[in-house]
Amino acid sequence: MADNVDLQAQERAERGKNSARRLRASGMTPAVLYGEGNEAGGSTALAIPTKIVDYTLHHSGDNALYNIAIDGDTSTAR
């Protein structure tokens, strides 16, 4: 059975290679949450702290359901 993992993320306005590089240099991991019902046409650009991402992937593995909280709204991702 898959683990349920809670993550806190920030929505980011900038997209693209250069903004992702700046984000990584500041200790954050760029991510994208895909799904219907978003104003952005089905996807939301996110930033998650790299230390939390590394710890979560190391301890939860591939079979996990991620509950991602963005400004108080929670979405579930696989």
Nearest partner of 74 among 44, 50, 53, judged by Cα: 44
Per residue in 25-66, pLDDT tens?
Answer: 999 999 988 876 555 567 888 999 999 989 888 888 777 888
CATH of span 3-77 = 2.40.240.10
The pLDDT, as a whole number, for residue 49 is: 94
Per residue in 6-24, pLDDT tens?
Answer: 888 999 988 899 999 999 9
* Domain parsing of the chain, residue ranges: 3-77
CA distances, 62 to each of 2, 4, 35, 40 (Å): 9, 12, 20, 27
